[in-house]
Structure 1
Amino acid sequence: MGGPLTQTDAPNGWVADGGKVETICPHDERSIGKDGKEIFGIPDHTIGGLLRSLATAKRHNITVIFDTCHSGDILRGNMTARMVSDTSPLPEDLDEDIWMWGLSSSPKTAAGFLDQTMWSHVLLAACRKNEQALEGMSTENVVCGIFTHAMVKLFYQETDISQLTYSSSPNLLPPLGQRQHPQCSGKNKN
């Protein structure tokens, strides 16, 4: 999943690490939708609900890929970090119907989905939590995340894909810069 990631203050009643909620910033965030309402980022609570629903249907065979970061205005040569400015406060009931999928308790006390004990899915992330996911130019002259480009290239070049694991794939990538270190987590990453 591409697009910037940002952190915003958790609405009243939400349980969140440090009082912050991570959100994916869709291209139309902060605009007004056809229904006349503001479009917000997609909070981690929503992603968690979607993953729980998918895990119920598909079990333990889910791969989640994020080529995103928490970044400001950074320029490095021909690579730039994805950026986002301040966001509007999230409504307390944003996507509340989705949070409930697969939960037996209140969604406002649900743990975040990025947990080292993740059983339902494996997460491949472009960088560490405090790093930037850089963009560059592909060989086809298309702007793209350098992590995504490198992963696709790896999958096309890997001759014996049966030996490739989620956890080994970040180590097989070329260096993505001094400040971007791909990550892999999840119980079934090997």
Structure 2
Amino acid sequence: MQDAGSSTPPAPSHVSAATDPLHSTEIRDLIGHTASALAAFEAFIADPSRHVMMIPAHLLALQELIDGWASCVHLLSSPQYDPLMRRMLFAREELDTSERTMPETWQEALWERTARGQLRLSVNVDILCELVELQFTDATISVMLGVCINTVRRRRSDLGLVRRGGTMVSDEELIAAQSRP
């Protein structure tokens, strides 16, 4: 019987780790895989030579692990669930603190010569494609790459990169199209 103050519903009578060896094995595997994943985050946090720009990505991945583990609250007993959840929350707090205190880094623009000998700003095509795919705005990409917004727009246009969910029509082009007879 469950008391009125408990938020965890009782386990179904037909599924018990004590009576079902398969369930017991699955629970042990789940705990083992989760602990292994968490150990990787803890190793990253403890590594003094870690790359600070990887902190946001680790923070997102850890949050996904926490969300997945939270869905197991009804499958596990408190002694199985709570210690790992506490470790995950502590790791997330450590990463949050690291993210808040990480130094701002600015990308410095580099110049390259075209085939005709003209100088132009160098924009890494792979990085530009990735940032467009991640749906960053042109303004944000320009800050990240250390170039002006028009350079980002030109390179994106040259590569045929179009944002998902929309066309590459600028506000000026839209206003001009509306004012035509």
* Bigger fraction of residues in strand: 1
Based on CA coordinates, which of the two structures has the bigger radius of gyration? 2
The answer to whether TM tops 0.5 is no
Asked which structure has the greater RCO (Cα within 8 Å, sep 6+), the reply is 1
* Bigger fraction of residues in helix: 2
When the two structures are superposed, what TM-score results if normalisation uses the length of structure 2?
0.25
